[in-house]
Amino acid sequence: MLRLLYLESRPVVLDLELRMAIDVFPCEDGHAQEPSLCESVLQTVKADQLWIADRNMCTQGFLFGISTASSDFLIRENKTLPQQAISELQFLA
Judged against a pLDDT cut of 70, whether residue 17 lies above it is answered with yes
pLDDT digits (tens, 9 = 90+) for 55-77: 878 888 999 999 999 999 888 88
Tell me the domain boundaries of the chain. Answer: 2-75
Q: What percent of the chain has pLDDT over 90?
A: 14
Judged against a pLDDT cut of 70, whether residue 34 lies above it is answered with no
Cα–Cα dist 84/32, whole Å: 30
Query: Which pLDDT score is estimated for 64?
Result: 93
